[in-house]
């Protein structure tokens, strides 16, 4: 019989490593599944959540049919509009002050983030992609009732594949942009005070576009292209067409991971925000009112005290040169407000409830001179219907004048 040979030291080490690896694999397999709504903060830069989970997900150009609504779970809500009734969030603020309660805005199955726009005192129009993919509209004048969700007759057959974005450059005028089925670029639809019209604006788009009115009848449209960076065109009275003829790149070729969102604090100023690397909110701005004006600056991260992580397109509301509010869905799927009032303030939580989950980016607008209204789509475990955010019109504020 052959003599027993003692295993070599190398063989013993290899055996120990194999046993350790098997133990790690078994221990990992036995772990409970992580909670779906608690993304890790150290995760890589997020994109919009999948359409089946978050209906504001940014569709890639050329993608298929609009996202369907999650069965028996999503709810479109509206938030009472009085952030303006209290001072901007202080550096140690934990909750935004002056907001009312989320209120149902029923009557339609919504499959995108909402877009809110105001073209006159007390007037707010809300647009979204409906269950058929067509754009739906709801509106309210002052303290009156909502008109109810409906597709404008001139826009029937227009099937969207992104959330819309809307702006108003004059009373009773609305310009909206979105991506449409069968087209890789940006599509525009507008209200001229009597009827709706629409046309294509070109570009190669990989996100929902953003539109902003910034004084003197001027409009700018920004969108993320297939390189992940932002491109831009603008329109102003006297131009025969949108300019430049070919979309121009902005933002120093820095990629973004959400659609852009833009607003104007005053004529000649544009502020845009988007989710950047690491999920951090970034700003791109244009200001022709200063000595070095007439050029775009950014993208750049916000100061440390205002640093915010998000995984959805933000919403921006400008009031005056020294007052700007940015609304974001945090990684905990709740709504936060960031205020600039000459300097950036600490993010403030708008709604303390933990049971209601924001599944889209918000859509916010300044209504009149003293009120902000926000809308968003939620999963409410206690409700099955689609709901919408309805402003509480009784509150106004000097702080948003």
Task: Give the H/E segment covering residue 261.
Answer: strand 261-263
User: Where does the pLDDT of residue 104 fall: very low under 50, low under 70, confident under 90, or very high at 90 and above?
Assistant: confident
In a domain, 2, yes or no: no
In a domain, 170, yes or no: yes
Q: Give the model's pLDDT for residue 88.
A: 32
Q: Give the model's pLDDT for residue 17.
A: 52
Q: How many residues does the chain have?
A: 401
Beta strand 363-367 with 335-340: parallel, antiparallel or unpaired?
A: unpaired
Does the pLDDT value for residue 190 go beyond 50?
yes
CA–CA separation, 134 and 275 (whole Å): 27
CA–CA separation, 361 and 330 (whole Å): 10
Q: Is 280 exposed, middle or buried (0-12, 13-18, 19+ CB in 10 A)?
A: middle
Residue 95 burial (CB count, 10 A) = 13
Contact predicate 335/363, CB 8 Å: no
Contact predicate 400/83, CB 8 Å: yes
Residue 143 burial (CB count, 10 A) = 8
Q: Output b/e per residue, 103-126; b: 16+ Cβ within 10 A.
A: ebbebbbbbbbbbbbbbeeebbbb
User: Where does the pLDDT of residue 356 fall: very low under 50, low under 70, confident under 90, or very high at 90 and above?
Assistant: low
Does the pLDDT value for residue 9 go beyond 70?
no
In a domain, 242, yes or no: yes
Ramachandran bin of 305, using left for φ above 0, alpha for ψ from -120 to 50, beta for the remaining angles = alpha
In a domain, 117, yes or no: yes
Query: What's the domain range around 247?
Result: 111-357
What DSSP state is assigned to residue 7? P
CA–CA separation, 141 and 118 (whole Å): 10
In a domain, 304, yes or no: yes
CA–CA separation, 17 and 22 (whole Å): 9
Determine what percent of the chain is predicted with pLDDT higher than 90.
51
Q: Give the model's pLDDT for residue 318.
A: 95
Mean pLDDT of 31-54: 29
Picking from 5-19, 166-180, 189-203, 343-357, which range would have the lowest pLDDT averaged per residue?
5-19
In a domain, 372, yes or no: no
Contact predicate 282/307, CB 8 Å: no
Q: What is the CATH number of the domain that holds 341?
A: 2.120.10.70
The pLDDT mean for the chain works out to 76
SS3 percent helix, strand, coil of the chain, rounded to 5, is: 10, 35, 55
Q: Give the model's pLDDT for residue 244.
A: 95
Nearest to 176 by CA among 146, 201, 153, 157: 201
pTM: predicted TM-score of the whole model, two decimal places: 0.76
In a domain, 335, yes or no: yes
The string of pLDDT tens digits covering residues 296-311 is: 998 999 998 898 889 8
CA–CA separation, 44 and 311 (whole Å): 11
CA–CA separation, 246 and 74 (whole Å): 39
Mean pLDDT of 166-190: 97
Number of domains the chain contains: 1
The string of pLDDT tens digits covering residues 223-263 is: 999 999 999 999 999 999 999 999 999 999 999 999 999 99
Nearest to 231 by CA among 215, 212, 245, 251: 251
Mean pLDDT of 133-153: 91
Specify the 3-state DSSP secondary structure of 20.
helix
């Amino acid at each position: 019989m052959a003599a027993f040979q003692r295993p070599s030291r190398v063989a013993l080490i290899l055996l120990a490593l194999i046993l350790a690896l098997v133990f790690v694999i078994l221990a990992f397999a036995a772990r409970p599944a992580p909670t779906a709504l608690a993304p890790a903060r150290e995760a890589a830069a997020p994109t919009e959540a999948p359409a089946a989970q978050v209906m504001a997900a940014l569709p890639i150009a050329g993608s298929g049919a609009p996202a369907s609504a999650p069965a028996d779970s999503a709810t479109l809500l509206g938030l009472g509009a009085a952030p303006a009734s209290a001072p901007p969030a202080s550096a140690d603020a934990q909750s935004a002050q002056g907001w009312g309660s989320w209120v149902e805005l029923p009557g339609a199955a919504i499959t995108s983030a909402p877009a809110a726009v105001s073209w006159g005192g007390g007037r707010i129009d809300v647009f979204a992609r409906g269950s058929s993919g067509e754009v739906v509209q709801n509106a309210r004048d002052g303290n009156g009732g909502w008109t109810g969700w409906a597709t404008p007759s001139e826009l029937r057959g227009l099937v969207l594949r992104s959330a819309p974005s809307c702006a108003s450059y004059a009373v009773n005028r609305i310009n909206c942009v979105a991506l449409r089925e069968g087209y890789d670029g940006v599509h525009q639809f507008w209200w001229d005070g009597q009827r709706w019209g629409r046309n294509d604006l070109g570009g190669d788009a990989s996100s929902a576009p953003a539109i902003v009115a910034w004084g003197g009848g001027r409009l700018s449209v920004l969108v993320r292209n297939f390189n992940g960076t932002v491109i831009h065109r603008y329109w102003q009275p006297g131009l025969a067409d949108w300019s430049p003829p070919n979309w121009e790149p902005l933002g120093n070729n820095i990629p973004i991971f959400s659609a852009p969102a833009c607003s104007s604090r005053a004529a000649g100023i544009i502020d845009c925000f988007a989710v950047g690397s690491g999920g951090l909110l970034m700003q791109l701005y244009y200001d022709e009112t200063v000595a070095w004006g007439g050029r775009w600056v950014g993208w750049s991260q916000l100061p440390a005290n205002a640093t915010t992580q998000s995984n959805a397109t933000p919403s921006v509301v400008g009031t005056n040169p020294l007052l700007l509010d940015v609304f974001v869905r945090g990684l905990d799927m709740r709504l936060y407000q960031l205020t600039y009032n000459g300097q950036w303030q600490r993010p403030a939580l708008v709604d303390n409830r933990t049971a209601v989950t924001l599944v889209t980016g918000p859509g916010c607008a300044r209504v009149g001179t003293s009120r902000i209204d926000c809308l968003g789509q939620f999963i409410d475990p206690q409700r099955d219907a689609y709901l919408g955010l309805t402003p509480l019109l009784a509150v106004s504020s000097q702080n948003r004048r």
